[in-house]
Amino acid sequence: MTVITPSTGTDPLTDLRAAVAGVVVRPGEPGFERAIPWNVAVPTDPYAVVFVESAADVAATLRIAARHGLTVGVNATGHGALPLDQGTVLVHTSALDGLEIDPQARTAKVGAGVKWQRVIEAAAPHGLAGLGGSAPDAGVVGFLTGCGIGPFVRTLGLSSDHVRSFELVTGQGDILHVTPASHAELFWGLRGGKATLGIVTSVEIDLLPISEFYGGALYFDGADAAAVFLAWRDWSLDLPEHANTSIALLHLPPLPEVPPPLAGKLTVAVRYASLADPETAEALIAPLRAVATPIIDAIAVMPYAAMGAIHADPVDPMPSFESATLLSEFNDTVLDTLLALAGPGSQSPQVVVEVRRFGGAMARPATHRSAFCHRDAGYHLFTVGVLAPPVAEHVAPHAASIMGAMAPWAIGELPNFNPGITPERISSCYDEDTLAWLSALAERHDPEGVLRAGQVVRITTPV
Ligand SMILES: Cc1cc2nc3c(=O)[nH]c(=O)nc-3n(C[C@H](O)[C@H](O)[C@H](O)COP(=O)(O)OP(=O)(O)OC[C@H]3O[C@@H](n4cnc5c(N)ncnc54)[C@H](O)[C@@H]3O)c2cc1C
């Protein structure tokens, strides 16, 4: 269906307010604060924010923006926020908050403004689980359009492999129901292409029959980092597919929500999540428990709804700076370099330096192909720093020094961990064919380039 928005010949704000049902605000006006991203460090000064209430609102916004030479970006939570300036209208999806669970079909229909924790809590009473990421406070749709790497990715594959359909508004304002059978090329490109092909208003996903898991995290003193990292690296080389893991150097601030044993000092977290029976899962992690004395042992049988405890990512908004890369291997040089730059005595300003182990089900092709290009990656390195005194100015250069040192093993980036807007950064998420196909699809569905506002794939320059 194509929605036609009549031209009024007035300014964009008047046109938007006349055409959409949702609230339209400009920076500084009451209500604008609802659009401040989770990552409060990202400059957010759009021409206007449209709190869309329907696909028709999204379509009208895209058409009006195009007519006035503005671009359009989209946010739900701002976990992956990108800088916005006066040339861009921000579609904010928080009012698209519909959520329907179908326990018989084992599916959920999720509005674009819904966060993972809500889906997980609504599915739990039915013994069902939605495959969210490490931070269930992030948005479902933003996560899935970046493919979604959850804490069970080695066992269950990419979260986007469990998508059934999307409701999409293309860049030219067409409202489409996208499934593997209808608009198959869009179904391929929406899983990995972020907002390149349009703005998703809702998604239908599979729910899996999982009510609990064995996992959580072991926390060690920073002084044990070398021993724990070495043991984890060797142990995680040949893990069975029921087991998922990551390791992180943490330097958490002394805030009330941080457990005192972890606050204000360097610690090491070994995250673990297994869907095997608890005895098998416990036996597998036993060697890691014995490497050193954990200062907190938070691994146990847990309800699936508590899966956010595996990574214990922050929930409150923060001024964060993130950098990331996929690694081909985690050899002795990589390990030693990482510890030298971020381990004990390094004065690292990062709050998190994390390595996730991939492989398993993630490495296998899914039933329906997608624009995800790095199934063969073995590891993912992710750093997070807080842009606040006294370390603010040191965070980005230090992250760059880590990424520079990892360059020989760096094999690209994940769409979800790449809130970058330069063509080089965006290209690092894809192979050449995928870039070309995504770009060609974008030319077809967004000929005026109205979505060229952020992390979108376009290999041609605007005219
Ligand atoms: C603490 C933390 C932990 C994280 N952990 C993981 C993890 O374990 N695994 C993982 O895969 N990712 C992870 N991420 C990355 C996260 O999945 C991405 O930032 C994702 O984009 C968040 O979606 P959002 O809608 O909440 O973010 P937003 O900032 O609101 O949106 C970010 C981008 O998502 C796209 N998008 C959002 N809404 C739509 C829409 N309606 N239609 C089309 N595109 C849309 C757009 O490109 C948009 O610019 C993490 C991020 C943080 C901050």
For ligand 1, atom 41, which residue shows the shortest CA distance?
200
Helix, strand, or coil (residue 274) = strand
Burial per residue of 245-275, b for 16 or more beta-carbon CB atoms within 10 angstroms, e otherwise: bbbbbbbbeeeeeeeeebeeebbbbbbbbbb
Listed in sequence order, the residues at least 6 apart from 351 whose beta carbon sits closer than 8 Å to its beta carbon are 250, 251, 252, 253, 384, 385, 386
Q: Measured in Å, how far apart are the chain's first and last C-alpha atoms?
A: 28
Ligand 1 in contact with 93 (CB < 6 A)?
yes
d(CA 316, CA 50): 23
CA of 142 to the centre of ligand 1 (A): 4
CA of 138 to the centre of ligand 1 (A): 6
Distance CA 267, CA 217 (A): 12
Dihedral angle of Cα 355, 360, 361, 363, to the nearest 10 degrees = 80
Sign of the Cα torsion 75, 81, 82, 84 reads positive
Beta pairing partners, 129: 208
For tokens 């819904």, name the residue: 114
DSSP 186-233: HHHHHTTSTTSSEEEEEEEEE-BS--EEEEEEEEEEGGGHHHHHHHHH
Rounded CA separation 208/380 (Å): 25
| CB burial of residue 368 (10 Å; 0-12, 13-18, 19+) | middle
Q: Is the CB of 149 under 6 A from ligand 1?
A: yes
Ligand 1 atom nearest to CA at 314: 1
Strands 88-92 and 71-75: parallel
Å from CA of 390 to ligand 1 middle: 28
User: What's the pLDDT at 10?
Assistant: 86
Angle between helices 12-19 and 55-67 (to 10 degrees): 160
The answer, yes or no, to whether any atom of ligand 1 lies below 6 A from the CB of 134, is yes
C-alpha distances (whole Å) from 395 to each of 41, 347, 424 are 13, 11, 22
Among 114, 170, 416, 418, the mutation site with the greatest number of ligand 1 atoms within 8 A of its Cβ is 416
Atom of ligand 1 nearest to the CA of 77: 30
Contact 355, 250 (CB under 8 A): no
Ligand 1 near 132 CB (within 6 A): no
Residue nearest to atom 2 of ligand 1 (CA): 135
User: Ligand 1: distance of its center to the CA of 139 in Å?
Assistant: 6
Ligand 1 atom closest to residue 134's alpha carbon, by position in its atom list:
8
Q: For the chain, which residues make up each domain, given as ranges?
A: 99-209, 212-417
pLDDT in tens, the chain (463 residues): 444 444 556 899 999 999 999 999 999 999 999 999 999 999 999 999 999 999 999 999 999 999 999 999 999 999 999 999 999 999 999 999 999 999 999 999 999 999 999 999 999 999 999 999 999 999 999 999 999 999 999 999 999 999 999 999 999 999 999 999 999 999 999 999 999 999 999 999 999 999 999 999 999 999 999 999 999 999 999 999 999 999 999 999 999 989 999 999 999 999 999 999 999 999 999 999 999 999 999 999 999 999 999 999 989 999 999 999 999 999 999 999 999 999 999 999 999 999 999 999 999 999 999 999 999 999 999 999 999 999 999 999 999 999 999 999 999 999 999 887 888 889 999 999 999 999 999 999 999 999 999 889 998 765 5
Residues 6+ apart with CB under 8 A from 461: none
Contact 170, 445 (CB under 8 A): yes
Q: What is the dihedral angle through the alpha carbons of 247, 251, 257, 261, rounded to the nearest 10 degrees?
A: 80
CA-CA distance, 251 to 344, in Å (whole number)?
A: 10
Residue 28 to residue 177: CA distance in whole angstroms? 36
CATH 3.30.70.1530, domain 212-417, yes or no: no
| Distance from the alpha carbon of residue 348 to the mean position of ligand 1, in angstroms | 26
Ligand 1 centroid to Cα of residue 225, in Å, is 30
Q: Which atom of ligand 1 is nearest to the CA of 91?
A: 41
| 3-state SS class at 384 | strand
200 lines ligand 1 (CB under 6 A): yes
Ligand 1 near 313 CB (within 6 A): yes
Query: How far away, in angstroms, is 102 Cα from ligand 1 center?
Result: 25
Cα(232)–Cα(246) distance, integer angstroms:
9
pLDDT for 419: 80
For the Cβ of 309 lying below 6 angstroms from any atom of ligand 1, the answer is no
Q: Per the structure block, which two tokens stand in for 24?
A: 């339209």
Mutate to test the pocket of ligand 1, among 53, 74, 351 (most ligand atoms within 8 A of CB): 74
Q: CATH number for 99-209: choose from 3.40.50.2300, 3.50.50.60, 3.40.440.10, 3.30.465.10.
A: 3.30.465.10
Atom of ligand 1 nearest to the CA of 148: 11
Mutate to test the pocket of ligand 1, among 143, 154, 245, 356 (most ligand atoms within 8 A of CB): 143
What distance in angstroms lies between residue 414's CA and the mean position of ligand 1's atoms?
Answer: 11
**Tokens found for residue 56:** 């028709």
b/e map of 383-409 (b: 16 or more CB within 10 Å)? bbbbbeeebeeebeebbeebeebbeeb
Positive or negative torsion for Cα 197, 203, 206, 208 = positive
Alpha-carbon span 313 to 300, nearest angstrom: 18
d(CA 269, CA 272): 10
